[in-house]
């Protein structure tokens, strides 16, 4: 929902449920953020015991986001972004990266989580003189809601960078995530790009399936997927080099802290691909 500031002030207070671990706050803890409670930290520490690479997975994902948005803005000339499943605001965020290269860039942020919404409305705001940022509270599984509202902000005659970074693994297989992603991609103009990363069980299946089961016990969804299934998100698109890779090996920079992780330590596959 796109809201004016008055509407935002009128909304019901968000239930934080600090006693329950929450996926966005667990991820925030793994990234070293402060927007988390004891239950989130305990859950993250349990996941770290099951797979000590969980923290590096989260951090190398964030580096992938930075390099992908830099590529899209600097090399592919993209000036409009839709970031679905944006998470709790973590600097540098998409608009900060894009604005450092092309200040006129516009960014639509989306997440389905009211806790993210509460933080995003305060923090995902652009500096004066730069392109606007907007937050839409919506669910990836209802792409028509996201698209109809994004139409009010973005120019759908010009290419758009669609970011689905570490979000599709929160969809179950029976929700047909590939069809959900295709529905958004289909609505984008020619010359648009998809950047997507997702947890894979290719390299450490036992550890990831244990974490998947732990999420399920707590009523949350985490679906690690094999490479072939992740490839399907890019059907009909042309991947830029180096194709689908563990994200720390996707165009790493000399200064990247995570460029030498093994495939198992990273455990996230990602790619950037162009729509012809």
Ligand X SMILES: C[S@@+](CC[C@H](N)C(=O)[O-])C[C@H]1O[C@@H](n2cnc3c(N)ncnc32)[C@H](O)[C@@H]1O
In the complex, least distance from residue 156 CB atom to ligand X, rounded to whole angstroms: 20
Residues that bind ligand X (CB under 6 A): 23-24, 27, 61-62, 65, 84-87, 111-113, 116, 139-141, 165-167, 170
Q: Which residue is nearest to ligand X (CB)?
A: 87
Closer to ligand X at the Cβ: 58 or 154?
58
Helix (H/G/I), strand (E/B), else coil: 243: coil
Closer to ligand X at the Cβ: 92 or 191?
92
> How would you label 36-57 residue by residue, b for 16+ Cβ within 10 Å and e otherwise?
bbebbeebbeebeebbebbbbb
Closer to ligand X at the Cβ: 27 or 233?
27
Closer to ligand X at the Cβ: 20 or 191?
20
Q: Is 206 exposed, middle or buried (0-12, 13-18, 19+ CB in 10 A)?
A: exposed
- How far apart are alpha carbons 155 and 39 in whole angstroms? 42
In the complex, least distance from residue 219 CB atom to ligand X, rounded to whole angstroms: 13
In the complex, least distance from residue 193 CB atom to ligand X, rounded to whole angstroms: 16
Residue 47 vs residues 91, 148, 152, 211, 219: alpha-carbon distances, Å: 24, 38, 40, 6, 15
Closer to ligand X at the Cβ: 113 or 265?
113
Residue 122 vs residues 115, 134, 187: alpha-carbon distances, Å: 12, 11, 29
In the complex, least distance from residue 197 CB atom to ligand X, rounded to whole angstroms: 7
In the complex, least distance from residue 120 CB atom to ligand X, rounded to whole angstroms: 9
């Amino acid at each position: 929902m796109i809201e004016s500031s008055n509407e935002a002030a009128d909304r019901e207070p968000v239930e934080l449920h600090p006693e329950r671990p929450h996926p966005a706050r667990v991820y925030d803890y793994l990234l070293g953020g402060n927007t988390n409670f004891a239950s989130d930290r305990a859950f993250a520490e349990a996941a770290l015991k099951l797979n000590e690479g969980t923290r590096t997975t989260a951090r190398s994902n964030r580096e992938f986001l930075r390099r992908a948005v830099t590529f899209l803005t600097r090399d592919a000339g993209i000036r409009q972004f839709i970031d679905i499943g944006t998470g709790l605001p973590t600097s540098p965020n998409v608009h900060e990266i894009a604005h450092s290269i092309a200040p006129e860039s516009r960014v639509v942020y989306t997440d389905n989580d009211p806790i993210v919404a509460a933080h995003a409305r305060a923090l995902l705001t652009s500096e004066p003189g730069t392109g606007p940022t907007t937050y839409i509270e919506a669910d990836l599984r209802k792409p028509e809601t996201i698209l109809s509202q994004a139409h009010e902000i973005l120019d759908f005659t010009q290419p758009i960078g669609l970011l689905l970074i570490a979000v599709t693994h929160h969809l179950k297989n029976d929700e047909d995530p590939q069809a959900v992603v295709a529905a958004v991609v289909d609505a984008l103009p020619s010359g648009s790009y998809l950047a997507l990363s997702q947890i894979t069980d290719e390299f450490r299946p036992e550890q990831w399936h244990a974490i998947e089961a732990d999420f399920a016990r707590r009523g949350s969804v985490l679906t690690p997927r094999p490479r072939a299934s992740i490839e399907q998100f890019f059907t009909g698109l042309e991947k830029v080099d180096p194709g689908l890779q563990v994200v720390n090996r996707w165009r790493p920079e000399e200064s990247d802290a995570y460029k030498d992780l093994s495939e198992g330590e990273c455990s996230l596959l990602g790619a950037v691909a162009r729509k012809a």
